[in-house]
Amino acid sequence: MSPIRVLVVDDHPHFITGLRALLDTAEVIEVVGAARSGSEGLALASRVQPDVVLMDLTMPGMGGVEATRQLTLSSPHIAVLVLSMVEDDDSVFAALQAGARGYLLKGARKTELVRAIQAVAGGEAIFGPAVATRLVNYFAKPKPVGSAEFPQLTTREVEILRLIAQHVTNPEIAARLGLTPKTVRNHVSNIFAKLRVADRAQAIMAAREAGLR
């Protein structure tokens, strides 16, 4: 059988080097390239046509969620397996809603990573133990009511959009919600993409037109 062709998308060069060295020892996998951002990953995936993309979520410029969304729309035959340090509910579900077939945390053992790559390449969905536990807990607990006006947004994104509509800055949002500034920036970027707006002013207008204040 031909090896599974894998593209790595991550903004940490040392991590990419270590991951390539790890995967190069697996006969069933061939690493065909690496990209440092979501937009670079999309361009490279279009050229090399991998079977699987290992996608980080938090990167400068286009993040992994939006890159996953665009890649699964343009190339549904390419499977996306998220490999990230981030494991909060919103990030996990945003990635799955964007079309990712699996979600592992960085630090996964070689056997787990290779098995996950083989699974998503074969059309399966797979999650690391920590992420699987979060999914079980999420579906087991009562769900908060989201915004009917913005069904495409997660509960956290609606919460952040509400604060944006109140002219709260990103650092202030991070402090209020106990998030890192980078996580808030990623959420804001996802909100803009889902609402198809270009900036905070347009997002505020959309929120207020829907009665979100």
pLDDT for 7: 97
User: Is 80 exceeded by the pLDDT of residue 104?
Assistant: yes
Same domain, 164 and 199: yes
Same domain, 128 and 64: yes
pLDDT for 61: 87
Same domain, 39 and 131: yes
Same domain, 130 and 172: no
Same domain, 91 and 13: yes
Q: What's the total number of domains in the chain? A: 2
Domain boundary (102, 137, 172) is at: 137
Q: To which residue do tokens 């996990």 refer?
A: 92
User: Is 70 exceeded by the pLDDT of residue 145?
Assistant: no
On whether residue 148 sits in a domain, the answer given is no
Same domain, 108 and 192: no
In this predicted model, what pLDDT tens digit does every residue of 13-29 receive, in sequence order?
999 999 999 999 999 99
On whether residue 213 sits in a domain, the answer given is no
Same domain, 28 and 111: yes
On whether residue 177 sits in a domain, the answer given is yes
Print the domain residue range for 169.
155-208
Same domain, 161 and 129: no
CATH at 204: 1.10.10.10
Return mean pLDDT, the chain. 89
pLDDT for 209: 82
In this predicted model, what pLDDT tens digit does every residue of 149-193 receive, in sequence order?
788 888 899 999 999 998 999 999 999 898 999 999 999 999 999
In this predicted model, what pLDDT tens digit does every residue of 76-103 receive, in sequence order?
999 999 999 987 777 888 888 889 999 9
Same domain, 64 and 159: no
On whether residue 183 sits in a domain, the answer given is yes
CATH at 38: 3.40.50.2300
Name the pLDDT band for 146 (thresholds 50, 70, 90).
very low
pLDDT for 139: 66
> pTM for this one?
0.66
